[in-house]
Amino acid sequence: VRKLRVAAAQVGRIDRGAPRADIIARLVALLEQAAAQRVKLAVFPETTFSTFFPRYFIEDDAELSSYFEKEPAEGIAHCESVKAFFDRAKELGVDVAIGYGEETADGQRFNSASYVDSSGRTAGKYRKIHLPGTVEPFSKEPGVTNQLEKRYFTPGDLGFNAFRAPSLKQACGGAKSPIVGQLICNDRRWAEGWRVLGLQGVEIVCIGYNTTAWAPQLWGVDPASMSRDEAYADAMFHHKLVCQSNAYTNSTFLITSARCGVDDGVHPLISGSMIVDPEGHIVAENQTEDDELVVADIDLDACQQGKTKTFAFAKHRRVEMYGRICSQ
């Protein structure tokens, strides 16, 4: 038995221009709730330190630049603009996985996530590989929901790397450190990233997301035949479908955390924060569309059924038939 208490730290409405200090105060409140419940790992959303800015066509580079953290070589926990959050996590002894806009020293911009352990060390770093949306906006009108990730971000260049989290070894019985992996939002819809993590024996996948609930230009919904409520339900259905099925086929726990609510009162994002077990069952999920901690006790040994039987890769995979997966 390798038991661990984990949480999805869901974050509700954040408007364009919301002060950074207010956002950090909300995130710290979630960390404090986590520590009070003896949670060892809390997973936060994608681009957590701001509103989901790729929905806006932003011409002012000063504004755009304000959404990117200038991450130093020592890691995001040492970045002045967000240090207060990581310092508090360290004081409270909580590991965090969190998404943010990253700007490198040479000016490249990525949609990134870091796993920072309770000593303040970056144990794992990921840059989003599947960037949805367009380079050009659907519309420049204010109030329109664009998806300009292909405009603002460079596709991730770090690969899908699982890593050990020795900080959690003690908490889960002292036998073996958990094997952790990260994906970001749209990546969860692509089986390839999951499988690359699965092949490394991943036991906990951490995923933050911002999923627009109503965007007829983005999703296959026909606005004439689907109400906003039906579109929300459909987006939630697909979110759960890919999360549960990919956790199952890779025999891993999943902790997935939403940025949700209706930003600026006009841009709805789905909730759906949850913890999924390696058999694909939801073991805990959100109850609100606001800031909320979704907590579960998980036993990492539950990954063994799938890893040694149903999806024992060495026994059952037929790689000689999979060549097309790695060609254009």
- Binding residues for ligand CDT, rule: CB under 6 A, are 46, 132-133, 147, 185-186, 189, 209-212, 218
Task: Tell me if 88 sits within 8 A of 118, measured CB to CB.
Answer: no
Task: Tell me if 305 sits within 8 A of 253, measured CB to CB.
Answer: no
Choice between 92 and 218, CB closer to ligand CDT: 218
For residue 174, the minimal CB distance to ligand CDT (Å) is 37
Choice between 133 and 137, CB closer to ligand CDT: 133
Choice between 214 and 253, CB closer to ligand CDT: 214
For residue 54, the minimal CB distance to ligand CDT (Å) is 7
Q: Which is the catalytic residue, given 46, 103, 285, 292?
A: 46
Choice between 76 and 185, CB closer to ligand CDT: 185
Q: What is the dihedral of CA 316, 320, 322, 324, to 10 degrees?
A: 180
Q: Which is the catalytic residue, given 128, 203, 243, 307?
A: 128
Give the residue from 251, 209, 176 showing the smallest Cα distance to 97: 209
For residue 212, the minimal CB distance to ligand CDT (Å) is 6
Choice between 48 and 212, CB closer to ligand CDT: 212
| Cα separation, 272 vs 53, whole angstroms | 20
| Cα separation, 249 vs 241, whole angstroms | 12
For residue 215, the minimal CB distance to ligand CDT (Å) is 7
Choice between 189 and 307, CB closer to ligand CDT: 189
3-class DSSP string for 55-122? HCCCCCHHHHHHCEEECCCCCHHHCHHHHHHHHHHHHHCCEEEEEEEEECCCCCEEEEEEEECCCCCE
Give the residue from 287, 297, 202 showing the smallest Cα distance to 6: 297
For residue 107, the minimal CB distance to ligand CDT (Å) is 22
Task: Tell me if 81 sits within 8 A of 69, measured CB to CB.
Answer: yes
185 catalytically annotated: yes
Q: How many CB atoms lie within 10 A of CB 138?
A: 17
For residue 2, the minimal CB distance to ligand CDT (Å) is 31
Burial of 241 (0-12, 13-18, 19+ CB in 10 A): exposed
46 catalytically annotated: yes
91 catalytically annotated: no
Q: Which is the catalytic residue, given 185, 243, 260, 303?
A: 185
| Cα separation, 137 vs 126, whole angstroms | 26
Residues carrying an active site annotation? 46, 128, 185
